[in-house]
Amino acid sequence: MNEISIITPDDWHLHFRDGDMLQETVLATARCFQRAIVMPNLVPPVTNAQMAKDYKQRIVEATPKESQFEPLMTIYLTNQTTQQDIKDAKAAGVVAAKLYPAGATTNSDAAVSQLDALNPVLETMTEVDMPLLIHGEVTDHVIDIFDREKIFIEEKLTRIVNQFPQLRIVLEHITTKEAVDFIQSGSSKLAATITPQHLLLNRNDLLVGGIRPHNFCLPVLKRNIHQQALREAVASGSKKFFLGTDSAPHEKHRKENACGCAGCYSAWSAIELYTQVFEELNVLDNLEAFASLNGPNFYQLPVNQTHITLVKESWTIPEEITLPNGNPIVPFFAGQTINWKLKV
Ligand code: NCD
Ligand code: ZN
Average pLDDT per run of 10 along the chain, which is 344 residues long? Answer: 96 98 98 98 97 98 96 96 98 97 80 87 98 96 97 97 98 98 98 98 98 98 98 98 98 98 98 98 98 98 98 98 98 98 95
Separation of alpha carbons 233 and 185, rounded Å: 12
Tell me if the bond preceding 219 is cis, omega within 30° of 0: yes
Separation of alpha carbons 173 and 197, rounded Å: 10
One-letter identity of residue 128:
V
Ligand nearest to the CA of 106: 1
Instruction: Identify the pLDDT of residue 113.
Output: 81
Distance from the CA of 190 to the center of ligand 2, in angstroms?
Answer: 18
Q: Can you give the pTM of this predicted structure? A: 0.97
Instruction: Identify the pLDDT of residue 344.
Output: 87
* Structural contact between residues 8 and 307, judged by C-beta atoms closer than 8 angstroms: yes
Q: Which atom of ligand 1 is nearest to the CA of 262?
A: 7
Distance from the CA of 43 to the center of ligand 2, in angstroms?
Answer: 14
Distance from the CA of 315 to the center of ligand 2, in angstroms?
Answer: 26
Instruction: Identify the pLDDT of residue 32.
Output: 97
Indicate if 11 belongs to the active site.
Answer: no
Mutate to test the pocket of ligand 1, among 42, 109, 218 (most ligand atoms within 8 A of CB): 218
Burial grade of 248 (CB within 10 A; 0-12, 13-18, 19 or more): buried
Separation of alpha carbons 256 and 185, rounded Å: 40
Ligand nearest to the CA of 135: 1
List all residues whose CB is within 6 A of at least one atom of ligand 1: 15, 41, 105-107, 135, 217-218, 246, 248, 262-263
Give the angle 254-256-259 at the CA atoms, nearest 5°.
70
